[in-house]
Amino acid sequence: MANYHIRKYQNSDYEIVRNIYSDGVKELSPTMFLHVLKLPRTIVFLMGVFLTLLMSLQSLLWAPLAVVVLLVLARVIVDAIWTQYVQCCFQEDLLDIQKSYLQSEHSCFWVAEVKGEVVGIVGAQPIRNAEQDDRLELKRMVVKKGHRGKGIAKALCGTMMNFAQRQGYKAIVLETTQLQHAGQKLYERLGFKRMHEIPFSSPVGEITCVNTIFYRYDMPTIDKGKEKVPTAKNVSGIGFVF
């Protein structure tokens, strides 16, 4: 198991936290690209373009070249989707992490360190609306490449779950994408239940056929002061992004 340390976010972590999140999200670009390529509609479209050009131009050069150009264009568009998503996050809660997560006792942001290097992040914010105010949202979970598979992601998640229990929340909620298979497996091993799915960032979801998946974890009742949720000391697992 990795020799890691989890602590609260400090202002000096600002740039590295944003860089870790940006790098982690952009890792999803090739995964989404391959997902889109495997869609029946994509295969039919590319074959249609190829056959149409082949019959109209009667050239074994221009038809495949056109398909290659379309693939390159598709990859550029997918990269742009994730770049734009990161920029939106940078203008929301990650614009001022201290203000977003540490000005209230009901929210928090943690980082995981290995030998003084920040290698993982996770945040927690309450969800409040007119009907329900007893849920805490797990946000911005990322573990850097090279530090995954060492228990850091589960430790971060366990730290957040313990925080939720101490604060008296009845449930933890989160959303992820269908592309993040490792994250889904980890959540489900920790006891999160899949609730529902919706298309990802419509109209992007309609084009890519990628869904956002919503999870919920109902907090157990504390028995004689003992916490029943995973802690940073007894969890191990793999890194993932949210």
In the predicted model, residues of the chain with pLDDT beneath 70 are 1-2, 129-132, 201-203, 221-242
Residue corresponding to tokens 């770049």: 83
Q: How far apart are CA 238 and CA 154, in angstroms?
A: 7
pLDDT of residue 128: 72
pLDDT of residue 202: 62
pLDDT of residue 204: 74
Measured between alpha carbons, how far is residue 195 from residues 36, 85, 122, 174, 215 in Å?
A: 24, 23, 21, 10, 5
Task: Please choose, from the candidates 113, 106, 135, the residue with its C-alpha nearest in 3D space to the C-alpha of residue 7.
Answer: 113
What is the CATH architecture of 1-242?
3-Layer(aba) Sandwich (3.40)
pLDDT of residue 60: 80
Give the pTM: 0.85
Domain residue ranges in the chain: 1-242
pLDDT of residue 233: 42
Q: What are the backbone angles phi and psi of residue 223, rounded to the nearest 5°?
A: -110, 110
Q: What are the backbone angles phi and psi of residue 163, rounded to the nearest 5°?
A: -60, -45
pLDDT of residue 199: 82
pLDDT of residue 131: 55
Task: Please choose, from the candidates 176, 186, 197, the residue with its C-alpha nearest in 3D space to the C-alpha of residue 235.
Answer: 186
Mutual angle of helices 181-189 and 152-166, in 10-degree steps: 50
pLDDT of residue 83: 92
pLDDT tens digits, one per residue of 140-196: 999 999 899 899 999 999 999 999 999 999 999 999 999 998 999 999 999 999 999
pLDDT of residue 201: 66
Q: How far apart are CA 209 and CA 167, in angstroms?
A: 37
